[in-house]
Chain A
């Protein structure tokens, strides 16, 4: 089961500032619990889409923190339009959430 992301998107002078909080364990695969290694489990790709167009792609690894925070900017968005964020993890699980640009 995945939990919703918190997404904020604000436009200023044609530049949209996007801030995203994702709920994910981000297990490195290096940790041992009760004598057994905890398998790696982390987001390895984040894609941001605006009007059907990819505006940002990130490739992540196990060094990114638990419950990661991501901030990025792109040009060309306007207030009232939607921005969608999708993450996919190394187990193949994914989640997409949307926010309206303010």
Chain B
């Protein structure tokens, strides 16, 4: 076990340091990356998804022909402003800790009257996921510049936090990875991507606070569920089910760790 871990870690480090680069070229690379990131900030196509999401929030849909304007995201029915910065949280009506995406599923079921299982089962790139991705982007934008405030107090929130933390450090799979393998040290990156240190406040906010994000390279809008699913893939773990307990627990861990920092949603990434 131990030996295999070192093998995998060496592979990651080789990628992170690009092997044998001088300090100067590394600095130049870093400056280039910064310039590229700044250019991206100018026009974030996430705005197009926010506009779609806002329209969907107000539009009567599904067999019930209802709207999500009654949906309680935790700060009162129909209230969107600041809601995302306080998620995930415990909801008495479902007796569950829910993140934004699982809560939206609850509301789509309740007010639109649709069967949400096909939404859960669909690939992220499938048409069945389009609405929830747009809605998530819209709601996240209404928490831009809002301070993250996720402090587990309810017993189920505390249990989710503990589970998420365990999940984060749980090492396994064919490459013996854990989330912590890639996300528990400062100043690491893989190619153009900084790997934030999610185990501390600032680092966690860099990750948690910038998703959903528009991925320029793919021209896709990724939610946090999608981000987590892709990191499971990078860890060579089995693909988690959309809005499963493990993914929400990880979000509770990240959001609680990021509490006190500011949301910069929706984000934009390479």
Contacts and interface: CB of A to CB of B under 8 A. Distances in A.
A3 B47 contact: no
Contacts of A3: 48, 51-52
A38 B214 CA distance: 23
Interface string A5-27: 01000000000000111010010
Interface stretch (A41-49, A51-59, A66-74, A77-85): A66-74
Contacts of A65: 216, 219
B41 to A, nearest CB: 11
Interface in B146-188: none
A67 to B, nearest CB: 4
B42 A71 contact: yes
Interface in B40-65: 42-45, 47-48, 51-52
A88 B216 CA distance: 23
Given A19-B43, A21-B43, A67 B219 contact: yes
A29 interface: no
A21 B48 contact: yes
The binding surface of chain B is classed by DSSP as: loop
Interface residues of A, number: 14
Contacts of B43: 19-21, 69-71
Contacts of B214: 67
Contact of B42 (A4, A19, A23, A66): A19
A52 B111 CA distance: 45
B98 to A, nearest CB: 29
B42 A6 contact: no
A21 B50 CA distance: 12
A67 B45 contact: yes
A69 B45 contact: yes
A65 B214 CA distance: 13
- By Cβ-Cβ distance, the 4 closest A-B pairs, closest first, are A69-B43, A66-B219, A67-B45, A23-B48
27 contacts: A3-B51, A3-B52, A4-B51, A6-B51, A19-B42, A19-B43, A20-B43, A21-B43, A21-B44, A21-B45, A21-B47, A21-B48, A23-B45, A23-B48, A26-B219, A65-B216, A65-B219, A66-B219, A67-B45, A67-B214, A67-B219, A69-B42, A69-B43, A69-B45, A70-B43, A71-B42, A71-B43
